[in-house]
Chain A
């Protein structure tokens, strides 16, 4: 926590002492933790050269406390279409809101009038846009007034906080936001600060407000003087930070400039908080005018803190930051933010990773929770979309539901951080559901983006409902915003570690602040310390900051390669330039003891050590072997290469080689045989593979090998059995003879010749004919038909011994019969 200066400041503005939120350091004060605005002033930051405008119902530009800082170039009347933003006066003073908000930001100091603004040297303007029909055109025009001149737009209004509205910026207003972010402030991005909703008592939830739910706006909530939850406060995951405001009937409200050149102590609600943060950001922009719109959000995340704000929903996210749905990252710290802003290095460019849309329709049964997950590598394969460290996370969702207020939606990040995207709203009886509504959370800020995200939707009816009418999730997608590298080093907000470069100079810059008011204009250098002098220069030093990665021994110059030692790791060797780095680049691992980046084994991208088996991920063209933790070009036997994840994954235990899937084998292990793409065990002779029981079963006794247990399932016959009619038989049946078959370990029963009962060795060698047939050579001839076709021809057949030929037997049956 920041040191509190013992002696507080004094201003001649009469209501200064009633500004209780500026004196929380005093002992008598009930607000126990400071927003540290006076401490920032003491460092010289009062908002000089920063331009803030209030989008509201006008600004009393001639109010004595506003006139000194009023800026016509930061003002416009969109309702009246002219350059005079003065509010419309009526008996009810209905249009006081803008003037009250403006006073908080930049009411003049020491002018013996009313209060002191948080950025009391900033330029303040007003855009009158609420006092008439507010349309998309009116909003777009208001958000687009002079983005190159105005730095900060503060808005303390929004859609109705009636607990049943879902509304946000229209098409034109969205484009105006985007234009401001991309082109505003010369490309650094306009700063949009938005007051969170005031519908706490109606059970409203600020994720239904498209303005506070936008990544482009800084959504601010409030806490009471004692750090309690105000009665009006809405909860949601898009709230970034908090300031003091009103909120309990016995606790004090906020004092500020009022209509008709007056002063009020009755300014209330979250309307107070947006201008307060706008003022604090103005101080930061004075400290560092080159802050981008994301730098400002990072600074708020880094410097806001829970302090003594009372709620039981504080939790620590995956990056070690405390966050709550009520207060975001906590109470703002003006001194912390200017100190950090002073030495801030712009965060790396924003990457956006849009996940594929899940269009699988899901019914949401009553009283039950539907969980759907998505596994993401956070666009690792696109270098310009890859998100490693998160900022905002958005769930774009479409669903129908008979009673929208009964829904509760949560998002759980890979680190386990649970953001409540929607809570039940008992007044929301709409049956319109959500159409491409974008729920945003900042609770995962700083976490790693890659991994499994879970969306939980719970339907909890607040009263009886037709059970047939159920909610249906139609479509949802995850949008991750963040950076590919760490946005900054990880020191806590108040542990300033700038190491100073020591350069000789003629004299030390006057940095002492004598009397606060007159000398405070020159910003004081923060708590730096200087390294020992070098090369005999005089003791009088002019210092410039070393690179933030330099260790405590200081440096020879501003670059990371000029450090004398490193906070985290040194990279490079004797031959190359050695420099300090926050994290070791791909292909290296951080040796914590030696504080050095050491090279991983060949092929590894990230690793835990030098050896081949300490690789966590591989370079392009290599596969990560899950068992040996090594990187290989070719997956070894028994593994296959998973192309999407670049892993070597195990094949089925029976496979020697498989392709693309553990079950698609191409080569089986010993003792297995390939059956299609599957390896089935080679069962011992006499057994077969029972695929149902996945074991070897016994063949029938007649089988040597088989495909099943029955007699008809033999592949090869057992010894001394012959294969006949799909069975193995000890002997061939009549009319058949056993014949040797090449390649078979047993004989096969073959049919003898026609009319032959028994033959040997060949079907033509009949040894026993059927009844009524006579064996003639190896053939069987019917008895009554044994005659000669032609006597002379048959004599020739006999003389040429042609009776062995079946053809001649048939023509010369009697001659051949007689010749035996």
Chain B
């Protein structure tokens, strides 16, 4: 059987408006902003402690309204990728 996707309670969010805007969005929708993702400008790592840590379904709940915020250009719930040591 094809491996099923495994979703986490972490998100990658592309925000227009820099760190202050990212903090505002995180607070407004119940996330914790863990900061910019490496050197990728406008991309931030959001974490939501009140949703499933792991699930085979994408997350549901009011925190998904984040997607509709005009300041959010792109958003992706993080999937666990199967990686093997060689």
Contact = CB atoms under 8 A, between A and B. Distances in A.
Interface of A: 56-57, 81, 97, 130, 133-137, 139-141, 143-145, 147, 156-161, 165, 167, 170-172, 175-176, 179, 183, 195-198, 269-271, 430, 432
A141 B81 CA distance: 15
A589 to B, nearest CB: 49
B8 interface: yes
Interface string B74-86: 0010111111111
B85 A139 contact: no
B2 A157 contact: no
A489 B85 CA distance: 40
A56 B86 CA distance: 10
Contacts of A170: 76, 81
Contact of B40 (A144, A158, A159, A195): A144
Nearest to A164: B2
Nearest to B84: A160
A179 B38 CA distance: 10
Contacts of B10: 133, 135, 137
Contacts of A143: 38
A88 to B, nearest CB: 14
Interface in B1-31: 2-3, 8, 10, 12
A267 B43 CA distance: 38
10 closest A-B pairs by CB: A144-B38, A135-B78, A271-B86, A195-B86, A198-B86, A97-B85, A134-B83, A133-B80, A144-B39, A270-B86
B38 A197 contact: no
5 contacts: A134-B83, A135-B79, A156-B85, A171-B76, A198-B86
A57 B45 CA distance: 21
Given A135-B79, A135-B80, A136-B12, A430 B40 contact: no
Interface of B: 2-3, 8, 10, 12, 34, 37-40, 43, 45, 54, 76, 78-86
B80 A134 contact: yes
A136 B76 contact: yes
B80 A140 contact: no
Given A136-B12, A172-B37, A156 B86 contact: yes
A289 B21 CA distance: 40
A161 B37 contact: no
B2 A430 contact: yes
B84 A137 contact: no
B80 A158 contact: no
A670 B18 CA distance: 78
A139 B54 CA distance: 18
Nearest to A194: B86
Given A133-B8, A134-B82, 5 more contacts: A137-B12, A137-B78, A161-B86, A167-B81, A171-B76
A165 B45 CA distance: 27
Contacts of A432: 2
B86 A157 contact: yes
Given A81-B34, A159-B81, A269 B86 contact: yes
